[in-house]
Amino acid sequence: MNTLLKTGADDALMDHATAALSPLVCDSNCNRSVQGTLNQMGQDIEHLLWYENASIMDLNPYRTGAWLADRPCTVKGVKDCIWPVQAMHALLRSPESSEGKGRSPIQGL
C-alpha cells in the first residue's frame, strides 16, 4: 500500500487496493518468466547501488518499489512493453476490481 502511494495512487485507487487485499498464499508453482523479471529487477538494484555508490541500508523500500514499477517491462506473449505503474492503476480502476473479482487486464499477469 505504501509503494502504491509512492506511485501517485489517489484515494479511489487505494480503496480498490484495500478491497482486493487477501491473505498471503505461497505456492510451489514456478514461472520462469516471472523469475527472469525478478532477476532483472535485482540487477537493476545492484546497478543503482554501484552507480550511486550507495549502501543497501540507504534504500527506502517503498521508493525503490515505485522506482522499479516506473519502467517498461516485457511480458511473454505481449507485443508492447508494459509499464507496471500504469498497469496496476488500470487494474485497480477496472470494474472487476471494485466488485472484488479483480483480474488483470494484461494477459499473463
Buried/exposed code over 38-54 (b: 16+ C-beta within 10 A; e: otherwise): eeebeeeeeeeeeeeee
Instruction: Tell whether 21 is covered by a domain.
Output: no
Residue 48 has pLDDT above 90, yes or no: no
Instruction: Tell whether 68 is covered by a domain.
Output: yes
Instruction: Tell whether 64 is covered by a domain.
Output: yes
N-terminal to C-terminal alpha carbon distance within the chain: 19
Q: Which domain holds residue 89?
A: 2-16+33-98
Instruction: Tell whether 27 is covered by a domain.
Output: no
Q: Band the pLDDT of 34: cuts 50, 70, 90.
A: confident
Instruction: Tell whether 40 is covered by a domain.
Output: yes
Instruction: Tell whether 52 is covered by a domain.
Output: yes
Query: What does the mean pLDDT of the chain come to?
Result: 84
Q: State pLDDT tens for residues 59-108.
A: 889 989 999 999 888 877 888 998 999 999 999 998 765 554 544 444 44
Instruction: Tell whether 22 is covered by a domain.
Output: no
Number of folded domains that form the chain: 1
Residue 14 has pLDDT above 90, yes or no: yes
Of 3, 7, 14, nearest in space to 86 by CA: 7
Instruction: Tell whether 28 is covered by a domain.
Output: no
**CA–CA gap between residue 89 and residue 65 (Å, rounded):** 15
